[in-house]
Amino acid sequence: MSEPTFSIVIAAYEAAGTIGRAVSSALEQTAPAHEVIVVDDGSRDDLAGALSRFGDAVTLIEQENRGAGAARNTAAAAATGTFVVILDADDAYHPRRLQALAGLAADRPELDLITTDARLMVEGEATGTFAQYTPFVTDNQRTAIFHSCFVGGWPAIRRTRFEKIGGFDESLKIAQDWDCWLRAILDGAVAGFVPEPLYDYFVQAGSLSSARAASLWERARMLEKAARSQALKPEELAALQKALRMHRSRAVMADVQEALYGSGTRLPLARRAIAPRIDRRARETALLAAVAPPLARKLLPEELPSGVRR
């Protein structure tokens, strides 16, 4: 079999300040990429200027602003490598990342999704790895993917599989990567993992509670969509419904955190308390936060996002 090749795709929006770091890391691989494709998703900053020093080493495609999923789909449509591999415009690869991915792909040609661990970077300092918080799963991946996006947001996906499932769902704003890997796994893809942190994921410190709540609700919507899949077996649908209850409950708790400690309002909490498919603790906590915020603050301490310290 021929050696697998990798097309690195980067969706960029207002990323002139970080795109140089990302592209440099893509071009400095010990196993060179087949190509590096950047899609400018309607940026208003000088992204082209920031890329000019790379010359013909980077393919730049410009489009109107349509979101990260659409930008990645555009890049993937132009890609010709065996795998499409994700790099965010504000993140970076370690020099051996493609070498590690290629080694895994060669050793296990049945894999359609391959990834590595990632360092979580906060204010320039590594605060742990993705797998510490979200361990990779090798068994029962078809149901495990309902509970967590254990492949992360930056895997390589076999281009033929990506095309078969229709790429990223552009209607999703937050959970589109998880949705894509979920659909790939339900379509028959098997995921593999290199347990080395060869990707730097830069976490923005600060007030992330409202963004976290929105992200959790988007995950719930993504799973509600997945529940309509014809590929699900009865036992898989039952596992999905259990995961959906968990994610909806977590989203309610994030709404409570935002109402108590952020800029959110208490007005939706009463509605959250009577929402379907949430667990008892989330229901009671939402009701308490709606009617007695001081007591709720005493009983429920502020919860910070993973990797962010006080």
Which pLDDT score is estimated for 267?
67
pTM of the entire predicted model: 0.90
Which pLDDT score is estimated for 203?
84
Question: How far apart are alpha carbons 154 and 98 in whole angstroms?
Answer: 12
Residue ranges of the chain with pLDDT lower than 70?
A: 1, 205-210, 264-267, 304-310
Instruction: Give how far Cα 275 sits from Cα of 251, 278, 282, 295, Å.
Output: 11, 7, 10, 22
Domains of the chain: 6-203 (3.90.550.10), 209-299 (no CATH)
Which pLDDT score is estimated for 272?
84
Which pLDDT score is estimated for 186?
96
Question: How far apart are alpha carbons 136 and 117 in whole angstroms?
Answer: 9
Q: What's the alpha-carbon Rg for the chain, to the nearest Å?
A: 20
- Dihedral, CA of residue 136, residue 138, residue 140 and residue 142, to nearest 10: 60
Which pLDDT score is estimated for 2?
75
